[in-house]
Amino acid sequence: MLVVVGGHSRNIGKTSVVEGLIRKLRSRKWTALKITQYGHGVCSHVGEACGCETEPDHPFALSEEYEPSKTDSGRFLAAGAERSFWLRTPMGELARAKKTLAKIVGSGANVIIESNSVLELVEPDVFLMVLDFSCEDFKPSSLRYMDRADAFIVIDRGINVPLWQDVSRGLWDQKPQFVVKPPAYVTAAISDFVRSRLSPAAVR
């Protein structure tokens, strides 16, 4: 099974959703992957470079986390993932890591990926998109994949009307929506929704 979690902006809870799904469905023995594309400015939410840039002569970089830690990939391990990877590429260059990505996807029965852009290369069993109405930023790349979402996870921050402009309500209001309130990013309803999409071969 392949699950993809994306979102319309950075720092709205995508990693927490992945972490929560791994924890709720721990028996699935997940292989987790976070994809970062750099070149759009500072990646870190604390205002400092996150160190995701690859070496100049390499089109991408892949690292595996081996111990739980406060990094995103380390958090996946702490939540119960069997393996956890971090793939970095320059903006728009993810296709150059296609073979490596295919190996990771094929390495486990259940794989979960935090990314929007990976949808260029894979057809997931479930694509969940995180929405935060209080965040005005809406990446054009996210808008491109919105119609492929199977369901939306809406972060409850006390705002019922999104601050986005030029985003049609019909793109997100006609599909299942799960409202969550941090720090609980994954409810029983969300995990049940993902579980219902598991193929018989993936069920343990």
**Could you tell me where the beta strands, DSSP code E, fall in 22-103?**
31-38, 61-65, 83-90
Q: What is the pLDDT of residues 128-154, one digit of tens each?
A: 999 999 998 888 878 889 999 999 999
Look at residues 21, 7, 10, 26 and name the one whose alpha carbon lies nearest to residue 131: 7
Number of domains in the chain: 1
Do the domain assignments include residue 114? yes
180 three-state secondary structure: strand
Q: What is the DSSP string of 81-140?
A: -SEEEEEEEETT-GGGGHHHHHHHHTTSSSEEEE-SGGGGT---SEEEEEE-TT-----H
Q: What is the pLDDT of residue 102?
A: 93
Which residues make Cβ contacts (< 8 Å) with residue 24, sequence separation at least 6? 186, 188, 190, 191
The model's pTM: 0.87
- Looking up residue 172, the CATH number of its domain turns out to be 3.40.50.300
In a domain, 204, yes or no: no
Integer Cα distance of 8 and 134 in angstroms: 12
Its domain, for residue 192, covers 2-199
Give domain status of residue 38, yes or no.
Answer: yes
Determine the distance from the C-alpha atom of residue 184 to the mean position of all C-alpha atoms in its chain, rounded to a whole number: 16
pLDDT digits (tens, 9 = 90+) for 31-49: 999 999 876 443 433 444 4
Q: Can you read off the two tokens belonging to residue 83?
A: 């393996």
In a domain, 185, yes or no: yes
| 59 close to 89: Cβ distance less than 8 angstroms | yes
Residue 159 lies in a domain: yes
With respect to residue 93, please indicate whether it lies within any of the assigned structural domains: yes
Summarize pLDDT for 158-180 with one digit per residue, the tens: 887 888 877 888 788 889 999 99
Give SS3 for 50. Answer: coil
CA-based end-to-end distance of the chain: 12
- pLDDT tens profile 66-92: 999 999 999 999 999 999 999 999 888
